[in-house]
């Protein structure tokens, strides 16, 4: 009996469940560069180059270990290839009788895989993706126990279950969460370290050429390309982070500075998501740094919470709520993306910086994604459909299981507060405190309304005016509505007028 072991582009680990108990003499591993995956959204060229190069390096490592491998390179002439066509051809070529695959990261792909039993008349086994530290069924069981299944409770459950940063079943340091210590504002003395970069080898250079020849109409710059594409280099990136950035990670987690896209973040998400690193080893490395090198608890706990808490939580939410989650639009937002989401050309200096850096690096750090770009999408009333598409294609770490709950849930409140207890809305004041963007902006962050006022200032109030019936009874927004209630009619009128004008101009922008 010959079994096909299918490895998808974000499953690049020799310990992936689809390879367990493989018969090296009989079984065939299939990896395929296929058009459908490059086309379902027009991914950033750096993301495609990253995935293809990492796939080719991983395939070479497998071949070196004497696995039998069928590796299909992108056929630039036939643009109709898909996972299904690649599997069908390989099943026929090798007289395969069974397919084994690890659970994919996207609902769309799961549906495709489930069809093969019928369309190919073959046994298909879908194995759990045990790179995640919480199973899909386990999350669903945990979630049932809560009226409001918030990330913070889930995170505590995970800390206890995996015995991370615990002592005698209690959180080390006495507190579960040190987020209040992790909000230091921007200041001139912050000087982030150089990031870990890898020089492209021959395989990567070939892929860069392929991508620039083939996907030149996609948003983003393929070069300079400096991502790690092997497990060895991804491990070096993890070490670089632990040694150089983790000790500042907590303090400056929310800070944004012009010309400093990487700050003290780890830049590990794309490696974890694709399988070059496991979430567990990143968590363990940080915990060890706390124990051995006495790194500050707020930094280590903050970093671990992102991976053990948020990352696992959003994955649980995705599989629990799909496919309905994809359709959600609780605030009935209808706006399209303005052109500057593609060009970066806007007078709003914060957005200009974050979008331009996204275009260059296929990366933006969390606060740029959440409180600048995301905040704008929320306040400007952009339709979740377009916002999700944008976030899914622009970042090198984007797969729907992680992108969708962050966009629909965290930034757009489109799930009616399942993920976020209140909308992550902020005026220019927040961006001014956490960044140096406002200093060079054509808008004035101190002005509330009018032509030269920071658009975030009036859009913020306008959002809460427009959504009064939904939010006025939310206790976490009591301060917002208390302030609004004290505003006189002319102030409200000015906010509404400035907002209407701004949104009308946005419409002209995307319709042009
Ligand atoms: P660090 O700041 O160093 O954080 C450490 C790790 O924690 C990350 O590598 C990541 O694995 C994990 N993490 C942190 N926050 C989250 C989160 N909210 N959800 C899941 N994991 C998290 N992350 C993705 O991996 N893919 C996405 O497509 C993605 N889309 C996002 C869209 C929006 C609107 C927002 C607000 C966040 C999104 N995130 C996404 C989460 C987060 O912004 C990125 O994981 C992070 O910026 C990656 O950079 P880093 O590795 O330097 O992270
Ligand atoms: C994102 C992506 C791209 C652009 N190309 C491929 C590909 O050619 N072959 C492949 O196996 N995977 C690719 N991927 C990653 C897949 O889209 C990803 O595995 C699924 O979306 C499931 O998460
Ligand atoms: Fe952004 Fe407003 Fe500051 Fe300009 S003034 S950078 S638009 S927050």
In this structure, are residues 455 and 438 in contact, taking their beta carbons and an 8 Å threshold?
no
Region 41-69 average pLDDT: 98
Least confident range of 114-128, 185-199, 204-218, 394-408: 185-199
- Ligand number with the minimum distance to the CA of 379: 3
Is the pLDDT confidence value at 204 over 70? Answer: yes
Region 81-95 average pLDDT: 97
- Ligand number with the minimum distance to the CA of 7: 2
Please tell me the residue having the least CA distance from ligand 3 atom 2.
Answer: 454
CA of 366 to the centre of ligand 1 (A): 6
Q: Tens digit of pLDDT for each residue in 16-35?
A: 999 999 999 999 999 999 99
Q: Which ligand 1 atom sits nearest the alpha carbon of residue 370?
A: 36
CA of 442 to the centre of ligand 3 (A): 8
Please tell me the residue having the least CA distance from ligand 3 atom 6.
Answer: 438
User: At 29, phi and psi to the nearest 5?
Assistant: -90, 130
Q: Given pLDDT bands bounded at 50, 70 and 90, which one contains residue 179?
A: confident
Question: How many of the other CB atoms lie within 10 Å of CB of 297?
Answer: 18
Least confident range of 247-261, 345-359, 438-452: 247-261
* Residue 507 pLDDT: 81
Q: Is the CB of 44 under 6 A from ligand 1?
A: no
Q: What is the pTM of this model?
A: 0.98
Region 295-314 average pLDDT: 96
Is the pLDDT confidence value at 401 over 60? Answer: yes
Is the pLDDT confidence value at 510 over 70? Answer: no
Test site for ligand 1: of 273, 397, 407, most ligand atoms within 8 A of the Cβ: 397
Region 143-149 average pLDDT: 94
C-alpha to C-alpha distance for 272 and 234, rounded to whole angstroms: 9
CA of 318 to the centre of ligand 3 (A): 33
Q: Is the CB of 403 under 6 A from ligand 1?
A: yes
Region 486-500 average pLDDT: 97
Q: Given pLDDT bands bounded at 50, 70 and 90, which one contains residue 183?
A: confident
Beta-sheet strand order (sheet of 28-32):
69-72, 28-32, 3-6, 98-102, 123-127
Hey, is 52 helix, strand or coil?
helix
Is the pLDDT confidence value at 508 over 80? Answer: no
Q: Tens digit of pLDDT for each residue in 322-374?
A: 999 999 999 999 999 999 999 999 999 999 999 999 999 999 999 999 999 99
Q: Given pLDDT bands bounded at 50, 70 and 90, which one contains residue 512?
A: low
Residue with more model confidence, 446 or 184: 446
% of the chain exceeding 90 in pLDDT: 95
- Ligand number with the minimum distance to the CA of 267: 1
Q: Is the CB of 251 under 6 A from ligand 1?
A: no
- Ligand number with the minimum distance to the CA of 362: 1
Is the pLDDT confidence value at 509 over 80? Answer: no
Q: Tens digit of pLDDT for each residue in 220-233?
A: 999 999 999 999 99
Lining ligand 2 with CB less than 6 A are: 8-10, 32-34, 37-38, 43, 48, 51, 104-106, 109, 399
- Enumerate residues 6+ apart whose C-beta is below 8 A from 137: none
Mean of the per-residue pLDDT values for the chain?
96
* Residue 181 pLDDT: 84
Q: Which ligand 3 atom sits nearest the alpha carbon of residue 444?
A: 5
Q: Tens digit of pLDDT for each residue in 449-475?
A: 999 999 999 999 999 999 999 999 999
Please tell me the residue having the least CA distance from ligand 3 atom 5.
Answer: 445
* Residue 392 pLDDT: 98
Least confident range of 117-131, 187-201, 497-511: 497-511
- Enumerate residues 6+ apart whose C-beta is below 8 A from 63: 69
CA of 10 to the centre of ligand 2 (A): 6
Question: How many of the other CB atoms lie within 10 Å of CB of 102?
Answer: 25
Is the pLDDT confidence value at 180 over 90? Answer: no
């Amino acid at each position: 009996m010959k079994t096909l072991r299918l490895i998808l582009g974000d499953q690049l680990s020799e310990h992936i469940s689809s390879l367990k108990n493989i018969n090296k003499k009989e079984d065939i591993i299939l990896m395929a560069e296929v058009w459908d995956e490059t086309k379902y959204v027009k991914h950033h060229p750096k993301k495609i180059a990253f995935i293809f190069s990492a796939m080719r390096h991983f395939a070479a490592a497998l071949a070196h270990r004497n696995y039998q491998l069928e590796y299909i390179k992108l056929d630039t002439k036939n643009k109709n290839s898909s996972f299904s066509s690649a599997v069908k051809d390989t099943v026929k070529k090798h007289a395969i009788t069974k397919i084994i695959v690890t659970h994919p990261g996207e609902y769309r792909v799961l549906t495709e895989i489930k069809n093969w039993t019928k369309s190919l008349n073959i046994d298909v086994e879908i194995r759990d993706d045990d790179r995640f530290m919480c199973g899909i069924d386990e999350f669903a069981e945990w979630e049932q126990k809560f009226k409001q299944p918030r990330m913070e409770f889930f995170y505590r459950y995970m800390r206890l279950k995996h015995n991370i940063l615990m002592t005698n079943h209690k959180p080390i340091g006495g507190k579960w969460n040190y987020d209040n210590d992790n909000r230091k504002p921007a200041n001139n003395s912050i000087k982030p370290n150089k990031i870990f970069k890898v020089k492209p080898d021959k395989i990567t250079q070939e892929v860069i050429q392929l991508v620039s020849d083939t996907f030149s109409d996609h948003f983003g710059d393929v070069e300079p390309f400096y991502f790690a594409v092997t497990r060895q280099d991804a491990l070096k990136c993890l070490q670089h982070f632990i040694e150089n950035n983790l000790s500042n990670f907590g303090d400056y987690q929310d800070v944004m500075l012009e010309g400093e896209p990487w700050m003290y973040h780890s830049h590990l998400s794309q490696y974890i998501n694709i399988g070059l690193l496991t979430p567990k080893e990143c968590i363990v490395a940080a915990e060890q740094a706390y124990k051995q090198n006495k790194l500050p608890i707020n930094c280590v706990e903050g970093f671990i919470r992102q991976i053990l808490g948020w990352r696992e939580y959003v994955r649980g939410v995705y599989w629990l709520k799909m496919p309905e989650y994809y359709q959600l639009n609780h605030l009935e937002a209808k706006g399209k993306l303005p052109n500057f989401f593609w060009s970066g050309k806007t007078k709003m200096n914060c957005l200009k910086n974050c979008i331009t850096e996204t275009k260059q690096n296929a990366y933006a750090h969390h606060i740029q994604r959440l409180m600048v770009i995301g905040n704008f999408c929320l306040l400007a009333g952009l339709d979740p459909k377009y916002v999700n598409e944008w976030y899914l294609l622009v970042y090198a770490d984007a797969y729907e299981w992680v992108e969708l709950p962050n966009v629909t849930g965290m930034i757009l409140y489109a799930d009616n507060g399942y993920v976020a207890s209140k909308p992550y809305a902020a005026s220019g004041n927040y961006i001014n405190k956490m960044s140096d963007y406002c200093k060079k902006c054509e808008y004035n962050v101190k002005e509330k309304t009018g032509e030269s006022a920071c658009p975030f200032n009036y859009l913020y109030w306008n959002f809460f005016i427009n959504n009064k019936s939904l939010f006025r009874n939310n206790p976490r927004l009591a301060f917002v509505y208390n302030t609004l209630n004290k505003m006189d009619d002319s102030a409200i009128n000015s906010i509404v007028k400035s907002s209407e004008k701004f949104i009308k101009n946005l419409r002209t922008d995307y319709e042009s």
